[in-house]
Structures are given as structure tokens and as C-alpha cells.
């Protein structure tokens, strides 16, 4: 009998160790971004041991990380009914409140999570810090404060150091993030994510070659650690994007490393979604459409599929599908909408509202502009994606529409197209008004166009064409003093370039325009000056009818 009791106790103890080990394995799977494996392990633990509240909490976190808040809430709510570590689930519920901008509700849940902590407990502080960092409405100050409480108790806790590094990184405090990641890896050399994050910092600083070296050091420690290949893929992609001469080679490296990442994680729906995100980055929209359709066959519920369908449909020319898919996605308050979602929705409406023949459906176009404005508010640098569209509209002589597109980039100094967008914006506004067949010129728009040319002259003082367009704009506004001022500045700068420049037919044409415009502006106030400038035109073009007739009229 005693022997049987001893055996039974040993079996129970062994089972407990196995369960604890399973939770650790699930955490490892989460860190390795093997989410399908993690969910399978955690569901098995919950089924076999309903009292394990930690398993519910971790599973809830997996679903929340994947953007499935409803499923996350189900497991957090179930977890608070467990007997072991149920308090952790209040932290999950607290993050859901943060995501809903209910800070008071979040704090109430965090208080419930910590009220029965023992003196040396730190996990609650670490998870609360992560909740503040990972929320869609992050609060890095409170994240750091909570994680400092954990480190005050256990200064060498690698998980706390990694988490505070993430909080500092989110707050753009690169120095403190670096120290925390370094210390986390020193405290636990098996914590590869901390080592990987050192490379992420280098990637963010555009030190792409050094970042790659850092990631390769992680691979040397464990060639089967999947997330590092994703970081490598993104690094090669960004390197190619920022240095076009390397684009072909680096893009191939990016694709190869991303495929390696997928092979080491899992081919779950979530991994396909991450794959779809990457296909968007590398602009492989045909593959994106294939992946999106496969995802629909597997799961018609996850809302992010609508994002991928919308992007792919727009790029592949099916704007109606794009509009419906993206409107279905952005209208749901719980979906994590990003700038690109509104940008593609806006682009789809604009494509629907314009055609190659120059016809414009103004209502559809304006709706598209409103969506792009939302995109820019969320992610200012999406303006870099609009330059090509603006040039397409400009080429079709849809100048008013082109101006509306270029204006976004013209106001963002950080955009790589800042100078180009300002030039096209100013010219588009000018031609939109110069080509009007009825109605007065739009003085407010023309004033903004002139401001664009002023910005150009600050960024590129040798762009003399700016003065030519400033003269043209003021011609439309009938401001004689500014017509004279700007055209004279153009003449002075062009003359300074020498005889070769002045002999070019295009330059001769512009000089004639300048002389005639100045002459016309002087005609009502200084006839002598007016005749002087018209005569300068006649030196260049003796047959110029406008100048000849003007001289006769003034005499």
C-alpha cells in the first residue's frame, strides 16, 4: 500500500513537471513565432489541466498578438476562473481596455492582478509592462515604470530586461534600449531575441551591413531560430529600397530569407498573413492574390484577409473588389487599421474616378482624397507612394487632380519626393487654372502654388524655373509688381548662365515670354519701360506679332 502511495505521488509530481515543461515549450514556441504550435500546446494544457490559468493567459496573448481580440477575451475570462496563476489574466483584460482607450479600466484590472503578489514576485510587473508596450495605444512611460519595479526586485531578470528594452525602443530611446538588450543577453545567453534586437537597432539606424552581421551572429548560435531570418529579410528589403543600385540582389536575399523564416515557423493562417505582409513590401501582388485566395479557402472569418484582397485587387486592376474589401476591413472598429489600408482604399476610389480619356467622377475622386488624408494622418510617409499616381494624372492633363495628389508630398519635408512633389504641385496648380475655360482663377490655390515654388528655392536655390512659374502665377492673378519682379529674376539668372544657354531654342522662347509679360505689366504705368521690353522681344523674334502690335499701340 505504501509502495502504491509513493508511486502515485511520484506520478503526480511527474505530471506536474510535464505540465510546467509544456508551458515552457509553449512560451518557446511563441518566442520562435511558431504560433500554431503554441496554440496547440496551450489548448492541450487547458484541456488536461483547467486549473492552469497561466496557459489561458498565454493563449489569450497569442490571439491578441494575431489581432483576434474576441478570442483573446474568451481565454482571459476563462483564465480568471482557474485556481493557479489566474491573476495573470487580469493583465490580458487590462491590455484589452488599453486597446479600447479605457485607461481606468486597464488600471483596475492591473490592480486585481497585483493585489496578492508575494514580495519576490516579478512576473506580474513584467507582463503589465508588456501590456503597456504592446497595446495599440502604447504607454511607454508606464511600461518602463512597471518593468523597473520588477528589476528592483530581480536586477538580472532577463525577461524584464528584454521587455524594458522593447519599451525604450518603442519610445525611441535607442541608447537605453541597447543597454537593456545587451544586459538581457548577458543575463541569459539563450535569450536569442535580446541578441536579435541589437541587430534591429542597427537596422533602424540604417546600418544595414552591421545589422546583417549582428543577425548572422544569432544564426551562428542557433540556425533554427526563425525570427532572425524575418529580420534579415526586412533588412535586405530596406537596404535595397534605400540604395536602388543594390535592389535586385538585396530583394532576392530578402525573399530567400523570408522563405527560410516561413519554413522554421509554421504554415498556419497567421504565417501566411505574415507572408502576405512581406509580399506587399516587395510588391509581388500576383503572389499576394494567390496567397489571399488560399487564406479565404481556409478561413473566411479573419478580417485581415480583406486587407490583402484589397491591396492585390487594386494592383491587379479590380477596383470594385478593392473598394469593397477595404471598406469591409476599415469599418470594423476592432480591426487594427494602418495607413496603407486607407491609402489603398483612396487609390482605388481615385482610379475609379479617373480614366485615360480625362473624364473625372469628382465625387469618387474626392472620396479617395479623403481616405488618403486619413492614411497620411496615420503614417505620414505613405506620401512617398503617391508620386507615381500624381505623374500619371499629370500626363493625362488632369491637372487639378494631380495637384490634389502632389500636395500631400509637397508638405512633408521627410519624404524622398519632397522636391519633386513641390515642383509638380506648383506646375499642376498653374495649368489647372491657366486652362480654365470659364470662371476666375482660384487665387487661394495659386497662392499655395507660389508657396511651393518658394519651398523649392529653399531646397534647391538654383532651380531658376521657379521664378518663371511664379511670374506665370502672378500673371493669372494680375499682380503687375510681382509679375515684373519674378520674370526679371528669371531673366537675370538665365542671362548669367552665358551665351550657350541663351542660344537654346527653349530658353529663347522663355525669355520672349518674360519680356512680353514684363512689357504688358508696365503698359499701364510706364510706357517707356513697356516699349523697352517689347523691343527686347523683337531682337530675339522680329516677327513676334504680340510685341510688334504692343509697341505700335504704346506709341
Look at residue 334 and give its three-state secondary structure: coil
User: DSSP string covering 461-490, please?
Assistant: TT-THHHHHHHHHHHHHT-HHHHHHHHHHH
| SS3 per residue for 266-316 | CCCHHHHHHHHHHHHHCCCHHHHHHHHHHHHHHCCCCCHHHHHHHHHHHHC
Mean pLDDT of 277-293: 83
Q: What is the pLDDT of residue 29?
A: 93
What digits encode the pLDDT tens for the residues 466-489? 999 999 999 999 999 999 999 999
Mean pLDDT of 251-257: 90
Cα dihedral across residues 315, 316, 322, 325: positive or negative: negative
Mean pLDDT of 114-123: 94
Q: Quote the distance between the C-alpha of residue 431 and its chain's center.
A: 32
Same domain membership, residue 373 and residue 287: yes
**Residue 334 included in any domain:** yes
Same domain membership, residue 505 and residue 418: no
CA 513, 462, 446: angle at the middle one, nearest 5? 55
**Residue 394 included in any domain:** yes
Rounded CA separation 208/242 (Å): 10
pLDDT band at residue 6 using 50, 70 and 90 as cut-offs: very low
What digits encode the pLDDT tens for the residues 426-442? 999 999 999 988 888 99
Torsion of CA 515, 516, 518, 520, to 10 degrees: 160
Helical ranges in 171-303 per DSSP H: 174-187, 192-204, 208-221, 226-242, 247-264, 269-281, 285-298
Residue closest to 92 by CA, chosen among 130, 119, 118, 120:
130
Rounded CA separation 472/489 (Å): 13
Same domain membership, residue 368 and residue 309: yes
Q: What is the pLDDT of residue 461?
A: 95
Same domain membership, residue 199 and residue 253: yes
Q: Write down which residue in 266, 292, 310 finishes a domain.
A: 266
**Residue 461 included in any domain:** yes
Same domain membership, residue 407 and residue 453: yes
Rounded CA separation 308/292 (Å): 6
| SS3 per residue for 400-429 | HHHHHHHHHHHCCCCCCCHHHHHHHHHHHH
Which helix (H) or strand (E) segment holds residue 165: the answer is helix 158-170
Which of 174-178, 303-307, 521-525 reaches the highest mean pLDDT? 174-178
Rounded CA separation 248/255 (Å): 11
The range of the structural domain enclosing residue 375 comes to 283-379
pLDDT at 14 over 60: no
| CA dist list (Å): 324 to 67, 328, 375 | 21, 6, 17
User: DSSP string covering 40-98, please?
Assistant: HHHHHHHHH-TTBHHHHHHHHHHHHHTT-HHHHHHHHHHHTTSSBSTTHHHHHHHHHHH
Q: Worst-scoring range by mean pLDDT, 3-7, 250-254, 293-297? A: 3-7
**Residue 403 included in any domain:** yes
DSSP code at position 265: S
Residue 230 burial (CB count, 10 A): 21
User: DSSP string covering 19-44, please?
Assistant: HHHHHHHHHHHHHTT-HHHHHHHHHH
pLDDT band at residue 279 using 50, 70 and 90 as cut-offs: confident
Look at residue 446 and give its three-state secondary structure: helix
Rounded CA separation 213/478 (Å): 62
Mean pLDDT of 290-317: 83
Q: What is the pLDDT of residue 414?
A: 92
Same domain membership, residue 228 and residue 195: yes
pLDDT at 21 over 80: no
Residue 344 burial (CB count, 10 A): 28
Same domain membership, residue 224 and residue 206: yes
What digits encode the pLDDT tens for the residues 34-52? 998 999 999 999 999 999 9
Would you state the cell numbers that stand for residue 211, as one nine-digit string? 545589422
CA 464, 470, 471: angle at the middle one, nearest 5? 100
Q: Write down which residue in 341, 361, 379 finishes a domain.
A: 379
Rounded CA separation 137/74 (Å): 21
Residue 2 burial (CB count, 10 A): 6
Same domain membership, residue 288 and residue 225: no
Mean pLDDT, all residues of the chain = 91
DSSP code at position 354: B
**Residue 369 included in any domain:** yes
Q: Worst-scoring range by mean pLDDT, 142-146, 293-297, 313-317, 376-380? A: 293-297
CATH number for the domain harbouring residue 244: 1.25.40.10
pLDDT band at residue 502 using 50, 70 and 90 as cut-offs: very high
**Residue 172 included in any domain:** no
Q: What is the pLDDT of residue 510?
A: 96
Same domain membership, residue 401 and residue 345: no
Rounded CA separation 321/326 (Å): 8
Look at residue 360 and give its three-state secondary structure: strand
Same domain membership, residue 258 and residue 295: no
Q: Write down which residue in 420, 450, 478 finishes a domain.
A: 478
Q: What is the pLDDT of residue 555?
A: 80
Q: What is the pLDDT of residue 301?
A: 62
**Residue 457 included in any domain:** yes
Q: Are 353 and 368 in contact (CB under 8 A)?
A: yes
Same domain membership, residue 413 and residue 374: no
Q: What is the pLDDT of residue 446?
A: 96
What digits encode the pLDDT tens for the residues 162-206? 999 999 999 999 999 999 999 999 999 999 999 999 999 999 999
Rounded CA separation 212/382 (Å): 26
Q: What is the pLDDT of residue 191?
A: 96
Where do we find the cell 512597471? 146
Rounded CA separation 365/346 (Å): 8
Q: Say how many domains are in the chain.
A: 4
Rounded CA separation 71/302 (Å): 11
**Residue 81 included in any domain:** no
Residues in the chain: 555
Rounded CA separation 389/353 (Å): 13
Top-confidence residue, 3 or 47: 47
| CA dist list (Å): 518 to 75, 249, 280, 540 | 77, 54, 52, 15
* Spatial CB neighbours of 552, under 8 Å, sequence gap ≥ 6: none
Same domain membership, residue 367 and residue 398: no
Amino acid at each position: 500500500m505504501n509502495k502504491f502511495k509513493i508511486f502515485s505521488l511520484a506520478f503526480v509530481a511527474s505530471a506536474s513537471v510535464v505540465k510546467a515543461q509544456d508551458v515552457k515549450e509553449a512560451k518557446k514556441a511563441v518566442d520562435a513565432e511558431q504560433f500554431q504550435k503554441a496554440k496547440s500546446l496551450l489548448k492541450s494544457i487547458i484541456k488536461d489541466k483547467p486549473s492552469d490559468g497561466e496557459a489561458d493567459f498565454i493563449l489569450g496573448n497569442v490571439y491578441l498578438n494575431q489581432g483576434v481580440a474576441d478570442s483573446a477575451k474568451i481565454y482571459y475570462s476563462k483564465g480568471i476562473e482557474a485556481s493557479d496563476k489566474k491573476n495573470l489574466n487580469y493583465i490580458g483584460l487590462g491590455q484589452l481596455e488599453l486597446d479600447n482607450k479605457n485607461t481606468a479600466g486597464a488600471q483596475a484590472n492591473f490592480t486585481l492582478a497585483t493585489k496578492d503578489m508575494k514580495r519576490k514576485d516579478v512576473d506580474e510587473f513584467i507582463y503589465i509592462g508588456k501590456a503597456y508596450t504592446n497595446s495599440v495605444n502604447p504607454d511607454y512611460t508606464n511600461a518602463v515604470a512597471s518593468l523597473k519595479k520588477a528589476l528592483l526586485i530581480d536586477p538580472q531578470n532577463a525577461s524584464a530586461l528584454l521587455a524594458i528594452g522593447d519599451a525604450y525602443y518603442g519610445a525611441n530611446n535607442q541608447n537605453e534600449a541597447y543597454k537593456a538588450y545587451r544586459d538581457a543577453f548577458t543575463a541569459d545567453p539563450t535569450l536569442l531575441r535580446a541578441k536579435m534586437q541589437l541587430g534591429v537597432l542597427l537596422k533602424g539606424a540604417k546600418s544595414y551591413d552591421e545589422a546583417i552581421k549582428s543577425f548572422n551572429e544569432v544564426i551562428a548560435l542557433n540556425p533554427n531560430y526563425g525570427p532572425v531570418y524575418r529580420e534579415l529579410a526586412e533588412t535586405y528589403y530596406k537596404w535595397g529600397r534605400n540604395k536602388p543600385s543594390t535592389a535586385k540582389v538585396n530583394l532576392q536575399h530578402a525573399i530567400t530569407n523570408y522563405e527560410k523564416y516561413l519554413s522554421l515557423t509554421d504554415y498556419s493562417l497567421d504565417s501566411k498573413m505574415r507572408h502576405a505582409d512581406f509580399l506587399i513590401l516587395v510588391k509581388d501582388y500576383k503572389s499576394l492574390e494567390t496567397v489571399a485566395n488560399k487564406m479565404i479557402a481556409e478561413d473566411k472569418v479573419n478580417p485581415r484577409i480583406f486587407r490583402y484582397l484589397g491591396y492585390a485587387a487594386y494592383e491587379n486592376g479590380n477596383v470594385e473588389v478593392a473598394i469593397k474589401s477595404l471598406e469591409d476591413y476599415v469599418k470594423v472598429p476592432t480591426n487594427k487599421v494602418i495607413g496603407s489600408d486607407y491609402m489603398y482604399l483612396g487609390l482605388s476610389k481615385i482610379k475609379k474616378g479617373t480614366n485615360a480619356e480625362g473624364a473625372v467622377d469628382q465625387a469618387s475622386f474626392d472620396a479617395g482624397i479623403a481616405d488618403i488624408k486619413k492614411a497620411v494622418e496615420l503614417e505620414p510617409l505613405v506620401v512617398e507612394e503617391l508620386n507615381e499616381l500624381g505623374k500619371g494624372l499629370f500626363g493625362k492633363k488632369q491637372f487639378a487632380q494631380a495637384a490634389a495628389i502632389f500636395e500631400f508630398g509637397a508638405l512633408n519635408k521627410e519624404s524622398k519626393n519632397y522636391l519633386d512633389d513641390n515642383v509638380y504641385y506648383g506646375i499642376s496648380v498653374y495649368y489647372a487654372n491657366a486652362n480654365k475655360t470659364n470662371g476666375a482663377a482660384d487665387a487661394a490655390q495659386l497662392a499655395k502654388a507660389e508657396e511651393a515654388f518658394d519651398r523649392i528655392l529653399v531646397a534647391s536655390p538654383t532651380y531658376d524655373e521657379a521664378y518663371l512659374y511664379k511670374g506665370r502665377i502672378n500673371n493669372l492673378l494680375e499682380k503687375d509688381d510681382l509679375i515684373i519682379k519674378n520674370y526679371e529674376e528669371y531673366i537675370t539668372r538665365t542671362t548669367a548662365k552665358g551665351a550657350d544657354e541663351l542660344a537654346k531654342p527653349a530658353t529663347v522662347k522663355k525669355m520672349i515670354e518674360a519680356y512680353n509679360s514684363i512689357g504688358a505689366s508696365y503698359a499701364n504705368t510706364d510706357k517707356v519701360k513697356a516699349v523697352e521690353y517689347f523691343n527686347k522681344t523683337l531682337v530675339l523674334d522680329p516677327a513676334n506679332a504680340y510685341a510688334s502690335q504692343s509697341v505700335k499701340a504704346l506709341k
